[in-house]
Amino acid sequence: MEAEYDFSKLKSRKNPYASKLKKPVTMRLSEDVISYFKEMAEEEGVPYQSLINLYLRDCVSQHRKIDISWKGPTKG
C-alpha cells in the first residue's frame, strides 16, 4: 500500500446510480398512518420509512391512481 496516491490523472465520470439515490423530503402524515406503517415495519423487520418508500414505489410501478372525490352533505 502506498503512502500517497495521485488522483490528478484520473478521469471523472458521472455516477451511474445518481438517478437512483433517495432524496430527503419532509411530509406531514397522520398519526394513524405512521402507526400503521411502524407496526407493519416491525413485523417485517425493516425501517418504517423504507416500508413507506417500498409501498409508494409499488404504486408507481403499478401506475395506481387514487380516486379523490370530496363528497359533501347531500341536499334534500
What pLDDT shows up at residue 56?
95
Q: Rounded to an integer, what distance in angstroms lies between the CA atom of residue 67 and that of residue 37?
A: 22
What is the predicted pLDDT for the residue at 75? Answer: 66
**What average pLDDT is seen over the chain?**
89
pTM to 2 decimal places: 0.63
Cα R_g (the chain), whole angstroms: 22
Ordered by start, the domain boundaries in the chain are: 29-61
The whole-number average pLDDT for the span 16-35 is: 90
CA distance 20 to 15: 10
Q: What angle do CA 63, 22, 16 make, to 5 degrees?
A: 95
Confidence label for 12 from pLDDT (cuts 50, 70 and 90): confident
Residue 3 DSSP label: S
Per residue in 39-68, pLDDT (tens digit) is 999 999 999 999 999 999 999 999 999 888
Nearest to 49 by CA among 20, 17, 23: 23
